[in-house]
Amino acid sequence: MKAFFDKNQKIFNLIRKYFRMELEGIENLPSKEGAIIAPNHSGFAGFDAIMLSYEINRALKRIPRILAHHFWFAHKTTAAAMKKLGILEATTNNAVKLLEKNKIIILFPEGEDGNFKSSFSKYKLQEFKRGFVRLAILTKKPIVPTIIVGAEETHFTLSQLKFTKNLFGAVLPLPLNLWPLPAKWKIKFLEPIRLDYPKSYVENSDFMNKIARQIRDNIQFQLNLEVNKRTYTYFR
C-alpha cells in the first residue's frame, strides 16, 4: 500500500483537492498502538476505503490495512490486485495477527450492505456485524468510530445485485455513475472505545449485539449531525 500511495502521490493530491477533503479528530488516532477503524460504508468499489487509508497514512505516516470481503479473493486476478494494494481478506485470524503486531486495520461493520446500498438510503447505517467488537475484546485494542461524509454523493447506486451462494453470496452495486462527482468530503475520527471485558464475553451473542448496536447508534447520531451541518455539497 505504501508503494502504491508513493507512486500515485500526485493523483491522490489532485483527488484531495477535487473533494476538498477535510479531516477532524486526528488526535483520536493512535500514533503507535494497533486500532480498529470502524467507519460507515458507502460509495463504489471500496473507494471510501482507499481514501480513508490514504488520509490516515498522510496524517500519521502509518499504513493501515484494509480488510475486505472474501469475494475479492475468490479469483486469482482480483486476489493479486488486492495483494498489490495491501488489502487482506476479512477473517478473524488475519485481523488478530495484524492487531497483535500493533497495526491499524480498517474494518467496515456494515460490510457490503453498507457499501452497495441504494442511494435512496444514503447516510442510513445498515446493521453492524459483530466481528469488530469481537476483535476489540480479544486483542484489547481500541475501536475508533469514524464518519465519512461525501462518499454518498460521489457515487450514486440505483440498487443492489445479490448473487447466490454459488457465486460466494456476493452483493454488488448497480451504479448510476462511474466517474466520481465533486462532492465535498469530510472524515471525522471519534473518540476511541476500549472494551475491557473478559475474552469469554465474545461467546455471549446478546452482549455482542448490544455493544455493536450502541456503537452503531452513536455513529449514526454523529453522522446525522455532520450531514445536517452541511450547507453545500458540490462546487464550493
**pLDDT at residue 122 greater than cutoff 50:** yes
Neighbours of 168 (CB within 10 A): 15
Residue 208 placed within a domain: yes
136: enclosing H helix or E strand = helix 131-139
* pLDDT recorded at residue 164: 47
* Domain interval for residue 13: 2-61+94-229
Expressed in angstroms, the distance from the first to the final Cα of the chain is: 31
How does DSSP assign 178-227, residue by residue?
SSPP-B--EEEE---B-----GGGGG-HHHHHHHHHHHHHHHHHHHHHHH
Question: Is 37 part of a structural domain of the chain?
Answer: yes
pLDDT tens-digit map of 214-227: 999 999 999 999 99
DSSP structure string for 37-77: EEE---SSTTHHHHHHHHHHHHHHS---EEEE-GGGGSSHH
Which pLDDT value is given to residue 172? 62
Question: Is 40:223 a contact under the CB 8 Å cutoff?
Answer: yes
Q: Which amino acid is present at 199?
A: K
Residue at 155 is within a domain: yes
For residue 162 the three cell numbers come to: 445479490
**Distance, CA of 47 to CA of 29 (rounded, Å):** 21
**Residue 6 within any structural domain of the chain:** yes
* Domain membership flag for residue 72: no
Q: CA–CA separation, 111 vs 113, rounded Å?
A: 5
Q: 194: alpha, beta or left, given left = phi > 0 and alpha = psi -120 to 50?
A: beta
Q: Could you tell me which of 26, 19, 12 has the C-alpha nearest to residue 54?
A: 12
Residue 203 domain flag: yes
The count of domains in the chain is 1
Q: Cβ distance 22 to 184 under 8 Å?
A: yes
Top pLDDT among 68 and 31 is at 31
DSSP character at residue 107: -
CB 154 within 8 A of CB 187: no
C-alpha grid cell, residue 31 = 500514533
Question: Mean pLDDT for the chain?
Answer: 89
Distance CA 196, CA 227 (A): 32
Does residue 176 carry a pLDDT above 50?
yes
Among the residue ranges 157-166, 193-202, 217-226, the one predicted with the least confidence is 157-166
pLDDT, mean of residues 38-55: 89
Is residue 22 one of the residues assigned to a domain?
yes
With cell 493530491, the residue in question is 13
Residues 151 and 117: their CA atoms lie apart, in Å, by 12
Q: Assess if residue 84 is contained within a domain.
A: no
Q: What is the pLDDT of residues 52-75, one digit of tens each?
A: 999 999 999 999 999 987 776 777
